[in-house]
Amino acid sequence: MTMEPVPSPLAHRVPDLGSLELLLAVARLGSLGRAARELGITQPAASGRLRAMERLLGVALVERSPRGSRLTDAGVLVTDWARRIVEAAEAFDAGAQALRGRRDSRLRVAASMTIAEYLLPGWLIALRGERPDTAVSLLAGNSAAVAGRLLAGEADLGFVEGLDVPPGLDGAVVAHDRLVLVTAPGHPWARRRAPLAASELAATPLILRERGSGTRQVLDTALASYGGPAEPLLELASTTAAKAAVVSGAGPSVLSELAIGEELAARRLVEIPVADLSLRRTLRAVWPRGHRPTGPARDLLALTR
Q: Identify the CATH number of the domain in which residue 33 sits.
A: 1.10.10.10
Cβ pair 61, 71 in contact under 8 A: yes
Grouping H, G, I as helix, E, B as strand and the rest as coil, residue 252 is: coil
Cβ pair 237, 192 in contact under 8 A: no
Please tell me the predicted confidence (pLDDT) of residue 264: 93
The arithmetic mean of pLDDT across residues 133-161, rounded, is 92
Residue 270 has pLDDT above 90, yes or no: yes
Residue 157 has pLDDT above 80, yes or no: yes
Which residues on neighbouring strands pair with residue 116, listed in sequence order? none
Domain shared by 88 and 166, yes or no: no
Please tell me the predicted confidence (pLDDT) of residue 8: 61
Task: Identify whether 212 is part of a domain.
Answer: yes
Domain shared by 15 and 117, yes or no: no
Domain shared by 31 and 120, yes or no: no
Domain that holds residue 39: 9-102
- How far, in Å, CA of 73 to CA of 64, rounded? 14
Residue 145 has pLDDT above 80, yes or no: yes
Please tell me the predicted confidence (pLDDT) of residue 27: 87
The arithmetic mean of pLDDT across residues 196-223, rounded, is 93
Judged by average pLDDT, the poorest of 29-38, 65-74, 268-277 is 65-74
Please tell me the predicted confidence (pLDDT) of residue 184: 96
Cβ pair 179, 255 in contact under 8 A: yes
Task: Identify whether 149 is part of a domain.
Answer: yes
Q: Helix H segments across the chain?
A: 17-29, 32-39, 43-57, 73-105, 113-118, 120-130, 143-151, 198-203, 214-222, 239-247, 257-265, 295-304
Please tell me the predicted confidence (pLDDT) of residue 5: 54
294: CATH: 3.40.190.290
* The domain boundary residue, chosen from 57, 86, 102: 102
The arithmetic mean of pLDDT across residues 286-297, rounded, is 92
Phi and psi torsions of 159, nearest 5°: -135, 130
Please tell me the predicted confidence (pLDDT) of residue 134: 87
Task: Identify whether 264 is part of a domain.
Answer: yes
Residue 155 has pLDDT above 50, yes or no: yes
Cβ pair 155, 116 in contact under 8 A: no
Domain shared by 38 and 55, yes or no: yes
Domain shared by 140 and 21, yes or no: no
Domain shared by 56 and 193, yes or no: no
- The single-letter DSSP state of residue 232 is P
Q: Which amino acid is residue 173, in one-letter code?
A: V
Domain shared by 145 and 280, yes or no: yes
Residue 211 has pLDDT above 50, yes or no: yes
Judged by average pLDDT, the poorest of 61-75, 118-132, 231-245 is 61-75
Residue 256 has pLDDT above 80, yes or no: yes
Domain shared by 79 and 124, yes or no: no
Q: Which amino acid is residue 165, in one-letter code?
A: V
Buried b (16+ CB within 10 A) or exposed e, 154-183: ebbbbbbbbeebbeebebeebbebebbbbb
- How far, in Å, CA of 159 to CA of 167, rounded? 14
Degrees, nearest 5: CA angle 37-41-46:
95
Round the CA-based radius of gyration of the chain to a whole number and report it. 33
Residue 10 has pLDDT above 70, yes or no: no
Domain shared by 163 and 277, yes or no: yes
Q: How many CB atoms lie within 10 A of CB 256?
A: 29
Judged by average pLDDT, the poorest of 7-11, 209-213, 291-295 is 7-11
- How far, in Å, CA of 125 to CA of 123, rounded? 5
Task: Identify the burial level of 14 via C-beta atoms within 10 angstroms of its C-beta, where 0-12 means exposed, 13-18 middle and 19 or more buried.
Answer: middle
Domain shared by 40 and 15, yes or no: yes
Cβ pair 163, 280 in contact under 8 A: no
- How far, in Å, CA of 8 to CA of 70, rounded? 32
Residue 154 has pLDDT above 50, yes or no: yes
Mean of all residue pLDDT scores within the chain: 88
Please tell me the predicted confidence (pLDDT) of residue 96: 63
Please tell me the predicted confidence (pLDDT) of residue 4: 55
Please tell me the predicted confidence (pLDDT) of residue 103: 52
The backbone region for 40, taken as left when phi is positive above 0, alpha when psi lies in -120 to 50, beta otherwise, is left
Judged by average pLDDT, the poorest of 90-104, 211-225, 245-259 is 90-104
Residue 140 has pLDDT above 60, yes or no: yes
Confidence of residue 181 (pLDDT cuts 50, 70, 90): very high
Task: Identify whether 59 is part of a domain.
Answer: yes
The arithmetic mean of pLDDT across residues 21-47, rounded, is 89
Percent of the chain with pLDDT over 70: 92
Q: Which of 64-73, 178-187, 231-240 has the highest mean pLDDT?
A: 178-187
Domain shared by 171 and 68, yes or no: no
Q: Which amino acid is residue 162, in one-letter code?
A: G
Domain shared by 43 and 178, yes or no: no
| 118 against 285, higher pLDDT | 285
Neighbouring residues of 15: CB distance < 8 A, sequence distance ≥ 6: 23, 53, 56, 57, 82
* The domain boundary residue, chosen from 52, 77, 102: 102
Which residues on neighbouring strands pair with residue 177, listed in sequence order? 281
**Total number of domains constituting the chain:** 2
